Structures are given as structure tokens and as C-alpha cells.
Amino acid sequence: MLALLPYSAPIFGWLFPELPRPLYTRASFLDLAVSHAALVGMASLVVITLGIGIGIFVTRPIGRDFAGPVDTLAAIGQTFPPTAVLALAVPAVGYGSAPTIIALIAYGLLPVIGATIAGLTAIPRAPIEAADGIGLSPQGRLLKVELPLAAPIILAGVRTSVILNIGTATIGSTVGALTLGSPIIEGLSGSNPAYVIQGALLVGLFAVATDLWFDELEQVL
Amino acid sequence: MIVLDRLTKRYGNAVSVDQLSLTVPTGTICALVGASGGGKTTTLRLINRLIEADEGRVLIDGTDAASLAPVALRRRIGYVIQSVGLFPHWNVARNIATVPDLLGWKRDRIDRRIDELLDLVGLDPASYRHRRPHELSGGQQQRVGVARALAADPDLLLMDEPFGALDPVTRDGLQAALLDIQARTGKTIVIVTHDIDEAIRLASLVAVLDGGKLIQHGSPHDLLARPANAFVEAFVGGPRRGLRLLQVTRVRERADFSEPIGGTPIDADVTLDIALERMVTTGAHRLPVYDRAADRRGTLVLAAIASPDGRQT
């Protein structure tokens, strides 16, 4: 699709005959897609590390007291509109990729934290009790027993978060980040529905492809 | 030898284990019995420090358990629980290898050990090594649980109602397997059970706990013949106590070796319940007895089964 779209000008010209420039050309679709993927990738890396880390922390004896506040905070992160995060982040870190990544992190953290906590607390008592009883250290128990058993649920959370952020990343274009949202934003402001369709099509395909890839990953696990 | 020395554990105002002192000689099976909430499981967990005692000490072969790191201590003590707790994402072999792995054993030594243990617990290594826990029956899972507990060859095995969740036939098989394993390995075993018949069958030392206190301890025969109080008497069987006493008394103790009689003899080492059963089914009042160890013959009469030793005073 990425390869074919640049040659699709006649189709969009036929669909929208009133538009003088039916195909988005300000940046190549490949550049947009690569930049979009990089933004989501970077944000997801932070989200996964931080989310799983926090999830582990609040299910340990030392972190148990923080479980409530962390839950609330993560929920706020997700209910807070990403556009508002962008607006707040721009004065602090300027235009471009940085505020977009911050918004994506805030938005994507909740599913990962939630899934990690759910996964770790859903493990049956018996293996945990046995692990303690036969002499696994707390770290050994976490790495060898708890995380492998919680992995499917954690992965589901990561999947939700990444897919969510593939869509959310489009709004980064409002603050100057190069994403597949750029044609959408420009199409909206310039009354060019062809641009919107082109951007939305690619974002949608990107999300579906990623989702399918997670399917494969779950099969492997 | 395991020495529990005035062990005490409190939860708030409640005393779960109260000044409990008990000595378990090396190579014996000791059963901790009593009603739920009597402190049996807490006592067991105080031994491998899954729970830390408020007062008192646990000495394992003279070493204070508190002087070792808890994790190191537990790797030296086998631990079996009712819910088994095999790791569901690992196969049987890897489950058994858990502690040897942690102790850094060489691969081929671990592999040999896995086969040895599967043989010991009565599972064919070739067909069970690579199975996952969910492919095993409850009884087979617990056999693997016992193998895992014995993997690093601990001198002491702690078992918390290990056969409580199994059906009677499976439980019977595992009890027999445990007796066999104990006879072959000479392990010291402390087993928690609420089943007095299990305690009588397995243990040479039975400790009755109530309210966190040790009420009475001794051989099954001692407890059945001379229960220290009403609680012990009720626990060891109430109306069935006399019948259970037959299960722990050998023919040798009641036979008269001065006047042998003819016929197919009964072994002097079998218990009185078996002799009585034979009398009832054959309608005989007396049975010929053969004592293999002393190579002598004698007679067991019906009246001797109810002799003074077995009577309440």
C-alpha cells in the first residue's frame, strides 16, 4: 500500500474531481510512515519498560502501598486528552516529536500497568507457595515463575497500548511532528478529504498489521 | 535430628504456636496432627522459616536454622504442599530440576537425578520426563511434587497435608510410596495431617497439637492406648480407638510362644487387625503364629487380642 499510494493520484483525482491536488505530496508516505513508526516505537519502549516496572513494583511487598495511587495516576493519564497533554508539553519542550512522545507515554501507560498488575495477581497461589517453600529467592520467583506465568496477560496489555498509540500518534502532527496524521490534519484544515483518506488508510493498515504481528507473537509464547 | 525448642508464634493477641518443644530423631516420620487452626501448618512453616518465630529455636542436626539465610535453608529442606504447586509452564523434568539448578549442579548430574527420582516415586522416566503438569493426574502430580522436594537430596522433608486432596485409592498408593521412599532413603520427615489414620500408618512419632500447644506426643500405639486427655482421645478415634489400636499392635506382642499349634501360621509381624479379620472370616478362636525373626512358633487366642495392654484404665 505504501508503495502503491504515490501512484494513486488518478484514482483520488477521479474520486474528488474538484480538488486541484488530489494526492498528498508535502512529504513522501514512506517518510511519514517511518517517522510515525519511530515515534510509536520510542514511546512504546518507554511505556513497556516503565509500565511493567511499575506493575512489578506495586505487586512487591515494598511497593504494595503505592498500588492505589499508581492506579489512579495511570487512569488520569488515560482520561486526560492527548491533545491537552500536547498543549501542556509544547511550552516545556517545544514543538516536534518530543511533546508527541510525552503524550503517547501518558496515554499508553495505563493498559500496560493494569495488565501487569492483573497478570501478576492472577497467578495461582500454589506455584508461588511452592517456589517460596523450595527456596527460590524473591527475584528468582519473579523471573522464573511469576513473569512467565503472567506473560500472556501482560502481552495483551502491551498490544492494546501499542495499537492505541498508533492511532493517537496522528495528533502529533498538530504540533509539528511528522506522522501519518500530517495528511489528515492538513486535509481537515484545507478541506481536502482525499488527504484525510490517504492518512487514515495508512494508519489503519499500520494498526492492523501490528495487531496481526502481536497475534503471531502470542502464538510463539 | 530436628529439635523444636519452645517455639512461639503470635499474630496480634492470638497465639498460633505456643511454647512448642519437640524432638524428631533422624530417619523417623513425625506426624503433626490436630484440628484445623491448631497450629500444625504454622509449626511446619516455622521449621523452614516461611514464617519467622517470635520466640524459640529450631535446631537441624545441631545447627540453629536462624543462623542460615532463609533461601539457603529452604534449599536444604524438601517441601511438599497439598496443592502441589508444580510450575505449569515447565515440564516434569524441569520442575524436578528446580533446586539442583539453583544449586548449580552439572547438567548430566541433574539428568541422572531426574531419572532416579522418577523411578523412586514410581513414574517411568521415559514417558513422564517431558510431560507438562496439566497432563498428569492429581496423584501423579503429587508424585512429581515429592520428587521435586527430594531433588537436591535433603535430609529433611516437610509435607503439609500432601495427600489431602487425593481420592482414597490414590492416597493409599502415595502413602505406600512414601513409606517405601522413607525406608530406602532414611529421610527425616515431618508431615502435617488432620487424618489420624494417615498419621498412624505413616508416622512412628505422632504429635497432637491443639490451640498451638503440644498436647501429647509418642508412638501411635502410645496415643491410642493412653490418650492424655479427652481431646486426644476424641481425636485419635473416640469409638474407633480400639479398632485403630489393633492396627498398631503386632501379633508378636499378644501371641503365646509356649504352646504352638498346627495349621497355616500367621506372621508374627502383622498387626492384630489382620489376625482378627482372619479369625472372623475363618471362624477360628485361635491362630498358629510363626515368628520369622526368632524362628519360633506360637498361638494367638481371641481373648489375647483384648489383653490388658489394650484396655483403658
Segment A2-6 mean pLDDT: 73
Q: Which residues in chain B touch residue A152, judged by CB atoms under 8 angstroms apart?
A: none
Interatomic CA distance for residues B179 and B312, integer angstroms: 30
Segment A174-184 mean pLDDT: 86
Segment A211-220 mean pLDDT: 89
Interatomic CA distance for residues A150 and A128, integer angstroms: 12
Min distance A135 CA to chain B CA atoms (Å): 5
pLDDT confidence bin for B305, thresholds 50/70/90: confident
Cross-chain residue pair B148–A127, CB shorter than 8 Å: no
- CB-CB: which of A127, A132, A135 is closest to B87? A127
Which of A181-185, B23-27, B228-232 has maximum average pLDDT? B23-27
In this predicted structure, what is the pLDDT of residue A189? 85
Mutate to test the interface with B, among A125, A128, A129, A134 (most CBs of B within 10 A): A134
Segment A37-43 mean pLDDT: 93
Is the CB of residue A201 less than 8 Å away from at least one CB of chain B? no
Collapse the DSSP code of A113 into the 3-class scheme (helix H, G, I; strand E, B; otherwise coil) and give the result.
helix
In this predicted structure, what is the pLDDT of residue B308? 59
pLDDT confidence bin for A85, thresholds 50/70/90: confident
- CB-CB: which of A124, A136, A148 is closest to B102? A136
Interatomic CA distance for residues B246 and B248, integer angstroms: 5
A2 versus B216: the higher-pLDDT residue is B216
Domain with CATH 3.90.1280.20 in chain B: 249-310
Q: Which of A190, A188, A156, A202 is nearest to A5 (CA)?
A: A202
Neighbour count for residue B152 (Cβ, 10 Å):
22
CATH number of B249-310: 3.90.1280.20
Please give the torsion angle defined by the CA atoms of residues B111, B112, B113 and B114, in that order, rounded to the nearest 10 degrees.
Answer: 50
In this predicted structure, what is the pLDDT of residue B248? 87
Name the amino acid, one letter, at B104. G
Cross-chain residue pair B87–A132, CB shorter than 8 Å: no
Segment A154-165 mean pLDDT: 94
In this predicted structure, what is the pLDDT of residue A123? 93
Sequence-distant (≥ 6) Cβ neighbours of residue B185 within 8 angstroms: B120, B150
Cross-chain residue pair B98–A125, CB shorter than 8 Å: no
Contact (Cβ atoms closer than 8 angstroms) between residue A177 and residue A35: yes
Q: State percent of chain B over pLDDT 70.
A: 98
Segment B60-88 mean pLDDT: 93
pLDDT confidence bin for B156, thresholds 50/70/90: very high
In this predicted structure, what is the pLDDT of residue A5? 76
B27-42 per-position pLDDT tens digit: 999 999 998 888 999 9
In this predicted structure, what is the pLDDT of residue A78? 76
Q: Which residues in chain B touch residue A144, judged by CB atoms under 8 angstroms apart?
A: 87
In this predicted structure, what is the pLDDT of residue B311? 39
Long-range contacts from B263-272, C-beta under 8 angstroms, 24+ separation = B263/B287, B263/B288, B264/B288, B265/B289, B265/B290, B265/B297, B266/B290, B266/B300, B267/B292, B268/B292, B268/B293, B268/B298, B269/B293, B271/B246, B271/B247, B272/B245, B272/B246, B272/B247, B272/B305
A31-179: which CATH number, 1.10.3720.10, 3.20.20.150, 1.10.10.60, 3.30.1380.10?
A: 1.10.3720.10
Q: Please give, one letter per residue, the 3-state secondary structure of chain B.
A: CEEEEEEEEEECCEEEEEEEEEEECCCCEEEEECCCCCCHHHHHHHHCCCCCCCEEEEEECCEEHHHCCHHHHHHCEEEEECCCCCCCCCCHHHHHCHHHHHCCCCHHHHHHHHHHHHHHCCCCHHHHCCCCHHHCCHHHHHHHHHHHHHCCCCCEEEEECCCCCCCHHHHHHHHHHHHHHHHHHCCEEEEECCCHHHHHHHCCEEEEEECCEEEEEECHHHHHHCCCCHHHHHHCCHHHHHHHHHHCCEHHHHCECCCCCCCCCEECCCEHHHHHHHHHHHCCCEEEEEECCCCEEEEEEHHHHCCHHHCCC
**Distance linking the first and last C-alpha atoms of chain A:** 30
* Among chain B residues, CA nearest to A147: B89
In this predicted structure, what is the pLDDT of residue B309? 55
How far, CA to CA in Å, does A171 sit from each of A47, A87, A101? 18, 11, 11
Interatomic CA distance for residues B124 and B260, integer angstroms: 46
Sequence spans of domains, chain A: 31-179
- CB-CB: which of B72, B74, B89 is closest to A148? B89
Q: Is the pLDDT of residue B310 over 70?
A: no
Q: Which residues in chain B touch residue A124, judged by CB atoms under 8 angstroms apart?
A: 88
Q: Kindly report the average pLDDT of chain B as a whole number.
A: 91
Q: Is the pLDDT of residue B151 over 80?
A: yes
Q: Which of B129, B66, B43 is nearest to B92 (CA)?
A: B129
Segment B231-255 mean pLDDT: 86
Q: Which of B196, B198, B235 is nearest to B215 (CA)?
A: B235
In this predicted structure, what is the pLDDT of residue A181? 87
pLDDT confidence bin for B239, thresholds 50/70/90: confident
Q: Is the pLDDT of residue B263 over 90?
A: no
- Residue A170 corresponds to which cell in the numbers above? 496522528
* Numbers of helices and strands, H then E, in chain A: 10, 0
* Among chain A residues, CA nearest to B102: A136
Min distance B66 CA to chain A CA atoms (Å): 15
A·B CB contacts under 8 A: 59
Segment A20-28 mean pLDDT: 76
Q: State percent of chain B over pLDDT 90.
A: 73
* Among chain A residues, CA nearest to B89: A149
Contact (Cβ atoms closer than 8 angstroms) between residue B64 and residue B58: yes
Q: Is the pLDDT of residue A113 over 70?
A: yes
In this predicted structure, what is the pLDDT of residue A115? 93
pLDDT confidence bin for B313, thresholds 50/70/90: very low
Cross-chain residue pair A125–B75, CB shorter than 8 Å: no
Q: Which residues in chain B touch residue A140, judged by CB atoms under 8 angstroms apart?
A: 102
Class of the CATH domain delimited by B2-239: alpha beta
Domain with CATH 3.40.50.300 in chain B: 2-239
Segment A160-172 mean pLDDT: 91
ipTM for the predicted complex comes to 0.82
Interatomic CA distance for residues B24 and B47, integer angstroms: 12
- Residue A121 corresponds to which cell in the numbers above? 495477581
Q: Which of A146, A136, A151 is nearest to B97 (CA)?
A: A136
In this predicted structure, what is the pLDDT of residue A139? 93
- CB-CB: which of A133, A140, A148 is closest to B50? A133
- CB-CB: which of B72, B83, B149 is closest to A134? B149
Lay out the sheet containing B188-192: strands in order across.
Answer: B77-81, B156-160, B188-192, B29-33, B205-210, B213-218
